[in-house]
Amino acid sequence: MATLPEEIKAAMQGVIPSHVVTCARDGTPNATAISQVYWVDPEHVALSHQFFNKTVRNVRENPRALAWLINPQTFDAWDLEIEFDHAETSGPIFDALDMQIEAIASLVGLKGVFKLKSADIYRVISVTKNVAERIPLPDIVEPGGER
């Protein structure tokens, strides 16, 4: 087990899509982009399960997975080895994800269509930060001083 640093939260807000790699029982790999990896606690993350897809199927057969996250401010990348633990269909994590999906779904005409089936909870096995190469930039004005 590994502990997630606070710093990784910046990469978990879904600004840049994350990627998840899983394997079917027969070893066939699958990589997919997902909108967000959610922080649960320092040892767990959650992925949303809205549709039955290869990721959902694979981790139920073969729980090990790799998540790749990017901090949208620094472009530092994070590799997370994770392992599917269990699916939650109620409780605070489920509610938080469900609420967010409901809010966005209503904005694109998918109210009631696009629903959270479960919050899939993964244990974090390891976490590695890959610092992005910093290319010195000319002085630029920091955009958006206001919030």
Partner 1 sequence: MGADHSDTQPLREQIAQNQHTIDRLNRELARRSNEVRIIQQISQEITSTLDLDEVLGIVLLAMERVLGFAHSMILLTDASAERLRLAASRGYEPSGVGAEVAFGDGVIGVVASRRKMMRVGNLGASVAYLRGVRARLEAAGQMTGGGESAVLPGLRDAQSQLALPLLVKDRLVGVLVVESARPTAFDELDEILLGIVGNQAATAIDNARTYRMVESLSRLKRFFSPQLAEAIVTGGADDPLKTHRREVTVVFLDLRGFTAFAGSADPEEVMGVLREYHAEMGKLILEHEGTLERFTGDGMMIFFNDPVQVDDPAERAVRMAVAMRDQVTTLIGRWRKRGHDLGLGVGIAQGYATIGAIGFEGRWDYGAIGNVTNLAARLCGEAQPGQILLSARVASEVEALVETEDMGALTLKGFARSIPAFNLLRLK
Given the rule CB under 8 A, which residues bind partner 1? 1-3, 5-7, 10, 13-17, 35-36, 72-73, 95-96, 99-100, 102-114, 144, 146-147
- Please state the closest distance from residue 13 (CB atom) to partner 1, in A: 4
- Please state the closest distance from residue 32 (CB atom) to partner 1, in A: 12
What is the C-alpha to C-alpha distance for residues 124 and 81, in angstroms, rounded to an integer? 6
CA nearest 119: which of 145, 144, 134, 97? 97
What is the C-alpha to C-alpha distance for residues 15 and 108, in angstroms, rounded to an integer? 18
Q: In what order do the strands lie in the sheet with 38-41?
A: 29-34, 18-23, 64-70, 77-88, 118-130, 44-49, 38-41
DSSP state, residue 8: G
* Nearer Cβ to partner 1 (23/83): 83
- Please state the closest distance from residue 107 (CB atom) to partner 1, in A: 6
- Please state the closest distance from residue 118 (CB atom) to partner 1, in A: 17
